[in-house]
Amino acid sequence: MVDTKPLLPASNSDGSYLTGSRVNSLKPIKVYLTIFCGLLAVGLFAALLIGNYWSDNARIHGSLASSTSKRTYPLRPVSRGPAQGVSEKTSGIWAGVSRGPAQGVSEKTSRVRAGVPRNILPEPLNSTMLEWQRTAFHFQPEKNWMNDPNGPLFYNGWYHFFYQYNPNGAVWGDIVWGHAVSKDLINWFHLPFAMVADQWYDKNGVWTGSATILPDGKIVMLYTGSTTEAVQVQNLAFPANYSDPFLIDWVKYHGNPVLVPPPGIYKKDFRDPTTAWLTSEGKWRITIGSKRDKTGISLVYDTKDFINYEMLEGELHAVSGTGMWECVDFFPVSKTEGKGLDTSINGPEVKHVVKVSLDDDRHDYYALGTYYEKNGSWIPDLPEIDVGIGIRYDYGIFYASKTFYDQNKNRRVLWGWIGEGDSEAADMEKGWASLQSIPRTILFDNKTGTNLLQWPVEEIESLRLNGTEFEKVAVKAGSVVPLDVGPGSQLDIIAEFEIDKEALKKATGSNITFSCQTGGGAAKSGALGPFGILVLADESLSEQTPLYFYIAKDSDGDLKTFFCTDLSRSSKAPNVDKQIFGSYVPVLKEENLSLRVLVDHSIVESFAQGGRSVITSRIYPTEAINGASKVFLFNNATETCVTASVKIWQMDSAFIRPYSDDDDDKDDDDRKSSAPCFLLCPINYIVSCVTCLYFIYHVSKFS
Amino acid sequence: MNNTISFALLHLAFCFTLVSFTPISALELHGTGANMVETTCQKTPFYNLCVSALKSDPRSSGANVAGLAQIGTDKLKAKATATLRQITALLKVAKDPKLKMALRDCADYYNAIVKYDIPVAVEAVTKGDPKFGVEGATDAANEADACGRGFKNEPKFPIYASNKVVHDLSAVVASIVQLLL
């Protein structure tokens, strides 16, 4: 009888003895084998965990965040001017691309011989003009692309500035956090990258973030990471070593991300967390911009530890039709005192500002209003100039701006990213792109009650060299007056304009609404404008950048003043931005028209009425460069004479260069320690398991 | 017997409903794919070029706007690379010095398009910060424009057609990426 169920235990007594003995002799081996395998599995798993823990420690002691393979800039000081030569990157999407040095006159011929594309700039741009474009006292890295300012703060005697940076090219991409420190917001030391894209939660980009300084002096950095799946999440980082005044190394929290897009929010519409402020319950509150369809919104979160968050119902604010809100900023301003306020301050003497960067039009808008802490909401004072549809920080090129409270001098300071107005090809050619504005103090304009006043930080005045004063210069209708101050590429200009009061009364009104953009530029005459200053202008005025006021009188006799910049004749080169920028600026009855201008090669920052309206522009002249660049007063109005008082200083260059320290080598040693253990642990474990089992086997044999 | 018949009828009815619904839903899916291309292209300055470029890629059916943006950028890269090869080939045989100069300028512009503008656009779309993609694509259109301007005073513009396609396609890609903002 064949055993039809062979797998069942043997039931007949004949087979059982045999099976039993075979089972008995097999049993110990099988048991040992199972135990061995089990122990091995556990051992390997433990080894993996231990290995991970050790490599984590190495990161804290060393600087994995700034690993040598990613550090690309030279540690030697470089004088003002483009980088001396670019070593080719072997990684990233710009691998194998030669950009070459942007220097010297014989560049064209030498590059042709080298077999690389020659100067691709259209006539008449050449490398001298490109070299001139690099600024003397505006913050910029030595080369390549920069965009948003990140996490500005003052700590332990140093101002810190971080920024979006592409280590591999002069266009956006491969973004990491650049880092620099300064004592005075003007002269800077470049430091190693603070953070690179080395985790799954920021692999596709270490994007914008903000710093919060806690009462005990600790610093919390919240930033947006674009994950390997391109989902936008918020991550936490903090300094590795508080006793390092330069705060070179940063640690990313091991439990990142701390915030992911909530339900109902698209995974690519959730970025740029703000500095946190305290609520009366003692919790920290942040806001993060987003959108629902085309309505820009800002979400609010409360946290006690910056690790666990509760999202508030509703939003800080929402404005339909504005699109995605990037780089949201939220801060208090004092209505009565002329100083800045810590982000957590609240009270009756305070107004709150909401600022947004609109993805759709690349402009920064702000509005003043009231903050309601109970439900974390904010209502604008004037909904018709709500955030995103009202006043802009700057009517020129200025985006992704961010403020911080400078506890060193009790002021609120604004940073803004100034992009290029030329082509990407030109940026490639010169090897760099983008600047930061000179940091500006922010104050509530209590004269108008609707505006903020921006003004370059006073430290910029330390760069003033010799000044020339021009008192009460009469500029007749339709005339141009040269102001002889020497070379005009690095200047600080303060000007005041007086209009003939009679002319104001007599001038004919018109029912055509004026705007800078449609007003025809500086060449189109009106009764009471345009008049102002020409900068970066050559002797023959073939190239000129007018910064001007235009007083429009409507049919009712009301006067409205506009402040504009006209780039239409700023350069003979094609492929550069030639728009007209500007807007209405409130002017009170007793006020004269005032203007401050910082000219720094290819950037011009102009401030009207004490900073009530600001325009930043990028200028790329072909003639009005170096010694040929001059300043003029002009008056293109037909019915009024203008009296101008001007003071102009030549400006020295700032030093903005890498910190020349040799102690960056110590990082390498720490990282080596983790590797051998990871390999040895499982081997050790297997050997000990085998010996153990052998011992047990022999012991059992004896017993 | 009765039970069996009623059960069989019920089963038949169920199958029939299932079968009749499936082709409709399948049609709808395909329909949506085609509609997505058309509605997206309507928002670009060159509708016909947009539709033909996107539809020529099988991935376009069922793609969302981001997917269409990537397809558009791929097509643009192919076109620009091909035009660059055309220019290099023409440079080898060209004799007229003015023609050579204009062609050399175009070669440089197209190098910029293929090496910088398009990779930036691709990276911006995939990583989720589309505004830089708009910039990259717009710059590509400008470079193609600049190339064309070099032939303004020339009797012949040998790469006129391909240059126009690259310019128009860049503008199309820029508008599609703009939709992602």
What local confidence, expressed as pLDDT, does residue B3 receive? 65
Axis-axis angle for helices B131-149, B97-112 (nearest 10): 180
Residues within 8 A of B (CB atoms), A 309-328 only? 323-324
Chain A environment of B180 (Cβ under 8 Å): 268
Q: How near does any CA of chain A get to the CA of B53, in Å? A: 25
Beta bridge partners of A236: A222
Q: What share of chain A is helix, strand, coil (3-state, %, to 5)?
A: 20, 35, 45
**Residue A425 contacts B, CB cutoff 8 Å:** yes
Give the separation between CA A474 and CA A471, rounded to whole angstroms. Answer: 9
Terminal CA-to-CA distance of chain A, rounded, Å? 42
Q: In the 3-class helix/strand/coil scheme, how is A168-179 assigned residue by residue?
A: CCCCCCCCEEEE
Given a contact cutoff of 8 angstroms between Cβ atoms, the answer to whether A244 and A160 are in contact is no
- Pairing state between β A432-433 and A144-155: parallel
Chain B environment of A94 (Cβ under 8 Å): 115-116, 119
- Pairing state between β A490-499 and A325-334: unpaired
Chain B environment of A432 (Cβ under 8 Å): none
Give the separation between CA B140 and CA A485, rounded to whole angstroms. Answer: 41
Asked if A93 lies within 8 A of B104 by C-beta distance, the reply is no
Asked if B109 lies within 8 A of A425 by C-beta distance, the reply is yes
Give me the total of CB pairs closer than 8 Å, taking one residue from chain A and one from chain B: 87
Asked if A117 lies within 8 A of B111 by C-beta distance, the reply is yes
**Residue A171 contacts B, CB cutoff 8 Å:** yes
What local confidence, expressed as pLDDT, does residue A98 receive? 32
- Best probe of the B interface among A125, A423, A427, by most B CBs < 10 A, is A423
What local confidence, expressed as pLDDT, does residue A695 receive? 60
Q: How near does any CA of chain A get to the CA of B123, in Å? A: 7
Q: Which of A118, A171, A359 sits opposite B120 (nearest CB)?
A: A171
Active site residues of A: 148
Q: Which of B112, B120, B129 sits opposite A205 (nearest CB)?
A: B129
Beta bridge partners of B29: none
**Residue A294 contacts B, CB cutoff 8 Å:** no
Asked if A173 lies within 8 A of B109 by C-beta distance, the reply is no
Asked if B181 lies within 8 A of A205 by C-beta distance, the reply is no
Write the single-letter amino acid at A618: R
Give the separation between CA A490 and CA A486, rounded to whole angstroms. Answer: 10
Concatenate the DSSP letters of all residues of B3-38 into one string: HHHHHHHHHHHHHHHHHHHHHHHHHHHHHHHHHHHH
What is the three-class DSSP state of B177? Answer: helix
Q: Which of A93, A268, A423 sits opposite B128 (nearest CB)?
A: A268
What local confidence, expressed as pLDDT, does residue A81 receive? 31
Asked if A122 lies within 8 A of B124 by C-beta distance, the reply is no
Write the single-letter amino acid at A178: G
**Which residues in chain A come in under a pLDDT of 70?**
1-28, 30-124, 661-689, 691-692, 694-696, 698-699, 701-703
Asked if A204 lies within 8 A of B135 by C-beta distance, the reply is no
Distant-in-sequence, close-in-space partners of B48: CB < 8 Å, separation ≥ 6 = none
Give the separation between CA A696 and CA A699, rounded to whole angstroms. Answer: 5
Chain B environment of A265 (Cβ under 8 Å): none
**Which residues in chain B come in under a pLDDT of 50?**
19, 21-31
Tens of pLDDT, residue by residue over A370-416, are 999 999 999 999 999 999 999 999 999 999 999 999 999 999 999 99
Q: How far is CA A471 from the centre of its chain?
A: 40
- Best probe of the A interface among B73, B87, B116, B149, by most A CBs < 10 A, is B116
Give the separation between CA B83 and CA B50, rounded to whole angstroms. Answer: 18
Greatest CA separation for chain A: 131
Q: How far is CA A136 from the centre of its chain?
A: 20
Chain B environment of A171 (Cβ under 8 Å): 116-117, 120, 132, 136
Q: In the 3-class helix/strand/coil scheme, how is A336-357 assigned residue by residue?
A: CCCCCCCCCCCCCCEEEEEEEE
Q: How near does any CA of chain B get to the CA of A227, in Å? A: 8
What local confidence, expressed as pLDDT, does residue A508 receive? 83
Cα-Cα-Cα-Cα dihedral sign, residues A12, A17, A19, A20: positive
Give the start-end residues of each E strand in A143-248: 144-155, 158-166, 176-182, 188-195, 206-213, 219-226, 232-239
**Residue A428 contacts B, CB cutoff 8 Å:** yes
Tens of pLDDT, residue by residue over A195-243, are 999 999 999 999 999 999 999 999 999 999 999 999 999 999 999 999 9
**Residue A169 contacts B, CB cutoff 8 Å:** yes
The Cα-based distances of B8 to A279, A533, B1, B4, B17 in angstroms read 69, 93, 10, 6, 14
Chain B environment of A359 (Cβ under 8 Å): 131, 181
Query: Which percentage of chain A shows pLDDT scores above 90?
Result: 70
Q: How far is CA A359 from the centre of its chain?
A: 14
What local confidence, expressed as pLDDT, does residue A74 receive? 30
Asked if B116 lies within 8 A of A169 by C-beta distance, the reply is yes
Residue A35 CB-density burial (10 A; 0-12 exposed, 13-18 middle, 19+ buried): middle
* Predicted complex ipTM exceeds 0.85: no
Tens of pLDDT, residue by residue over A16-34, are 444 444 445 556 676 666 6
Given a contact cutoff of 8 angstroms between Cβ atoms, the answer to whether B59 and B71 are in contact is yes
